[in-house]
């Protein structure tokens, strides 16, 4: 099996699964229970929070556990909007956000908020001038994706943070679901107030995530009914999943330190190979993208057909964001980048992680080339 769909989800680390099983067996009590079993579970939860805080270089009180990226983005965006609407009802985001952010903003528009969707250039980047121009006295939130899930484009978060430093009343939310473990994002240094992370993109388990909420930033909670998670997110904590996530985060940050070069090497190889194939356009910005995502379009071939034919040969890739892949049609993100309807509706995404090897890349490119020939034979 060659798995190249790591941006959709990653395979859990063996150690992560072991942790999950052990914690589920031994520390199954409700951490809010007063008895000693509850105390143990609470202590373990606290240790996991501390460990995550250390890894992210933030305070434990700034770590809120969620059910994943979608929830994190929803809590951050709606939570800020509703909590601070008295100060203003203008929000800024980009036109290339993940659906969970994009649709949160659309919902807020229906609730009387005004949203500026910053356009992007061919590389998928917003412009700082556009951002500065959009800021108004009633702006309360800027929310942006760090690494785009379809194209891998990295937004200039550090520079954006600097711009926003001049506007201390605006909260800055970064969706780092695709970036964590692959591209650095120093939360404190870059002036970030909220940041979304998901466990299953870093070889943890589905159903767990982290929302960093800087101390002093108040948000209205979407879920109420308990005092868990500093009253920002009620609900009994998924202790086993959270502890497993702490382990996944530690392991992937370790891998990033040791193996980031490997990812870039594999990406370079794939890009070079793709360039030699007729009818392929590369959609990923070579200069401004993360080391693990490659997006390209194949002229005249429905992406689904290609995916299934690779699937038959045990190579797994995807069209774009898994969350919207079943909708068919053109990619909103690629359209926004001005790549045109044809390219936007024939896109394929390869996404790697630290388990992938150069050998796998070589083999999958060979298979890709063969399958393209096969498909073309049939389609003509």
Partner 1 sequence: MIYDHLVVRYGELSLKGKNRRHFETQLFETVKRKMRPFQDLNMAKHFDRIVIELNGQPYEPIVKSLQDIFGIHSISLAVRSENDLEAIQKAALIALNEAMEGKKTFKVTGKRSLKSFPVNSMQLNQEVGGYLLRNTEGFTVDVHNPDVNVKVEVKDTGTYISSKSFEGAGGLPIGVGGKAMLMLSGGIDSPVAGYLTMKRGVRIEGVHFHSPPFTSERAKQKVVDLTQELTRYSGGKIKLHVVPFTKIQQTIKDKIPSSYSMTIMRRVMLRITERLAENNNAMAIANGENLGQVASQTMHSMYAINEVTNMPILRPVITMDKLEIMNISHRIGTYDISIRPYEDCCTIFLPSAPKTKPKREKAIRFEKNIENLEELIEEAVNDVETLILEEGKSTDETFDDLL
Residues found near partner 1 in the complex (CB under 8 A)? 19, 22-23, 34, 36, 39, 42-44, 47-48, 51, 57, 60-61, 189, 243, 246-247, 250
CB nearer partner 1, residue 44 or residue 368? 44
Among 214, 156, 154, which residue's Cα sits nearest to residue 178?
154
Please state the closest distance from residue 46 (CB atom) to partner 1, in A: 8
Please state the closest distance from residue 128 (CB atom) to partner 1, in A: 17
Calpha distance 194→213 (Å, rounded): 5
Token duo for residue 313: 């040969």
Residues listed for the chain: 380
HSE (CB half, 13 Å, CA atoms) of 332? 17
Please state the closest distance from residue 334 (CB atom) to partner 1, in A: 37
HSE (CB half, 13 Å, CA atoms) of 46? 8
Kindly name the residue from 17, 55, 128, 323 that is annotated as catalytic.
Answer: 323
Q: How many CB atoms neighbour CB 342 within 10 A? A: 13
Calpha distance 161→163 (Å, rounded): 5
Query: Is the four-CA dihedral 328, 332, 333, 336 of positive or negative sign?
Result: positive
CB nearer partner 1, residue 43 or residue 359? 43
Please state the closest distance from residue 44 (CB atom) to partner 1, in A: 6
195 is catalytic: no
Calpha distance 54→139 (Å, rounded): 32
CB nearer partner 1, residue 138 or residue 189? 189
CB nearer partner 1, residue 60 or residue 156? 60
CB nearer partner 1, residue 215 or residue 264? 215
Calpha distance 35→268 (Å, rounded): 55
Please state the closest distance from residue 131 (CB atom) to partner 1, in A: 19
Residues classed as catalytic: 323
């Amino acid at each position: 099996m060659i798995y190249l769909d790591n941006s959709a989800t990653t395979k859990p680390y063996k150690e992560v699964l072991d942790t999950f099983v052990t914690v589920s067996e031994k520390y199954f009590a409700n951490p809010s229970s007063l008895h000693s079993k509850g105390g143990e579970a609470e202590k373990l939860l606290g240790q996991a929070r501390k460990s995550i805080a250390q890894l992210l270089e933030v305070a434990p009180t700034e770590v809120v556990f969620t059910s994943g990226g979608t929830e994190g983005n929803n809590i951050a965006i709606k939570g800020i909007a509703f909590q601070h609407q008295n100060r203003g009802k203008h929000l800024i985001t980009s036109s290339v956000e993940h659906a969970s952010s994009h649709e949160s903003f659309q919902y807020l528009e229906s609730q009387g908020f005004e949203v500026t969707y910053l356009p992007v250039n061919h590389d998928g980047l917003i412009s700082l001038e556009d951002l500065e121009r959009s800021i108004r006295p009633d702006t309360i939130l800027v929310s942006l994706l760090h690494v785009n899930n379809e194209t891998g484009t990295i937004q200039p978060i550090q520079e954006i943070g600097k711009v926003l430093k001049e506007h201390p009343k605006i909260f800055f939310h970064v969706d780092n679901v695709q970036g964590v473990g692959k591209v650095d994002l120093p939360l404190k240094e870059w002036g970030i107030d909220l940041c979304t992370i998901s466990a299953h993109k870093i070889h943890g388990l589905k159903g767990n995530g982290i929302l960093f909420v800087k101390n002093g930033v108040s948000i209205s909670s979407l879920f109420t009914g308990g005092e868990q998670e500093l009253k920002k997110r009620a609900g009994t904590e998924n202790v086993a999943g959270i502890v497993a996530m702490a382990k996944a985060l530690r392991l992937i940050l370790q891998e990033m330190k040791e193996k980031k070069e490997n990812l870039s090497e594999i990406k370079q190889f794939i890009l070079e190979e793709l360039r030699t194939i007729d009818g392929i356009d590369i959609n990923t910005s070579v200069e401004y993208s993360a080391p693990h995502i490659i997006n390209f379009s194949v002229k005249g071939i429905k992406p689904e057909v290609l995916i299934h034919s690779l699937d038959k040969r045990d190579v797994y890739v995807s069209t774009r964001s898994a969350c919207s892949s079943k909708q068919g049609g053109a990619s909103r993100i690629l359209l926004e980048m001005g790549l045109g309807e044809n390219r936007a509706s024939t896109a394929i995404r390869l996404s790697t992680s630290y388990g992938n090897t150069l050998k796998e890349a070589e083999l999958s490119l060979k298979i890709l080339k063969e399958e393209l020939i096969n498909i073309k034979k049939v389609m003509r």
